[in-house]
Amino acid sequence: MRRVSTKFFIMFVIFCMLLIVCPVIAKDDSATAKKLVAQTAKAGGHNHPDYYTGKHGFMNEEAAGTLEKDLYLMSWLVLDPPLKLGAGGGVASQNKDLLKEYFGVAEIDACKNVKNYPYAGMKSIKPNSDKEDMYFTPINFMDLVDAKQGALFASGNQFDWAEWGGQGVNQAHEYLFCLVKWNKAGEINIKVGSDDPETTWVNGEKVAEGMADRDWSKDQDPGKFTVKAGEWNAILVEVGENGGEWGFSMRVEPPPDDHTLDTQMVMAVNNNNKLTTTWANIKR
C-alpha cells in the first residue's frame, strides 16, 4: 500500500513538472507580444510595443507591395540598433563571424543548439562602432508599417526603420532569428531577397547565400531544407549593408504551421523535442 502511495506521489510530481517545463507555445498572439516587448525593455533595450503587437500574423496575411499573400515571414528577432561597423560593411564583412564577436555565440551554433538561441532582450557583449549596446528585439514588418517606420516590400526601404535614420545607416549588419514548425514532414523551399548580401542558416546548416552589394528584389537566393513533423526549426539570417537602401524578405513554401519568437520557452525542450536533462533526471 505504501509503495502505491509513493508511486502515485512521484507520478504527480512528474506531471506537475511537465506542465511547468513544457508550456504551450503560442503563435504571434498579443500576450506573447507583450511578454517579449516587456522582456526586452527590462533588459535595457528599446521599449517599442507598437513594433510587435500580435495584431499581424507571422506570415503576410495580405499582399505587401511586390510580395504575394501568405508566403513571407513577417516576425523576427532583430538587432536594435543594428551592428554598425564604422567601415567595411556589406560583402567585406559577410564572411566574418560578427555574431560571435559581438554576442559570444558562433553563427552556426546560434541556430543549431537550443541553448544558444538568441532571445528577446539578449544584449551584445560589446557595443557597436557608435558605442551603442545592441539587443535582440521582436518586430513584425507589418507592425513597422503601422508604426510609420518605413515603407516595406515596395521599391527599396524594405528594412529601413525610420528610427535608424532611414537610409542613413551604412557600413552595418543585421541579424534576424525566428523559430518555425511544420505539422507534416517534408522538404521546405525558401527564397531570400536582400540589400546588400545575406547568409541564411537553418538548424546550423547554411541553406542560402547571396554575396553581392546589390539592390533588393524578392526571391533572389533559393534554398531548401528538410523538416520533421512537429519539431521546431531555427532560422538565422545575416544581412550586410554597405550603403544606401537596406532590404530583406524571406519566402517560405509551404508556409509553416507555427512560429514563435519566445525562444526562452523553447529552451525547455531540446532540438529533438525531448524533455530537458532536468526532466530526464526526475524520470529516472
pLDDT (tens digit, 0 to 9) for every residue of the chain, 284 residues total?
445 455 544 444 444 443 444 444 457 789 999 999 999 999 999 899 999 999 999 999 888 778 899 999 999 999 999 999 999 999 999 999 999 999 999 999 999 999 999 999 999 999 999 999 999 999 999 998 889 887 777 665 567 677 766 677 889 999 999 999 999 999 999 999 999 999 999 999 999 999 999 988 899 999 999 999 999 999 999 999 998 888 899 999 999 999 999 998 887 655 454 444 333 333 32
pTM confidence score:
0.86
pLDDT of residue 276: 40
pLDDT of residue 244: 81
Structural contact between residues 191 and 250, judged by C-beta atoms closer than 8 angstroms: yes
The enclosing H or E element of 118 equals none
pLDDT of residue 2: 47
pLDDT of residue 183: 96
Q: Which residues pair with 59 in a beta bridge?
A: 73
Cell numbers at 199, concatenated: 547568409
Cell numbers at 11, concatenated: 507520478
As a whole number of angstroms, the distance between CA 218 and CA 88 comes to: 25
Task: Provide the terminal-to-terminal Cα distance of the chain, rounded to the nearest Å.
Answer: 22
As a whole number of angstroms, the distance between CA 101 and CA 86 comes to: 15
In one-letter notation, the amino acid at residue 244 is G
pLDDT of residue 157: 59
Domain layout of the chain by residue ranges: 1-22+272-284, 26-267
Q: Which residues contact 10 (CB under 8 A, 6 or more apart)?
A: none
As a whole number of angstroms, the distance between CA 274 and CA 22 comes to: 10
pLDDT of residue 14: 42
pLDDT of residue 166: 67
Q: Which residues pair with 236 in a beta bridge?
A: 177, 201
| CA-to-CA dists, residue 93 to 22, 88, 97, 99, 131, angstroms | 39, 6, 8, 11, 19
pLDDT of residue 156: 59
pLDDT of residue 64: 78
Q: How far is CA 253 from the centre of its chain?
A: 18
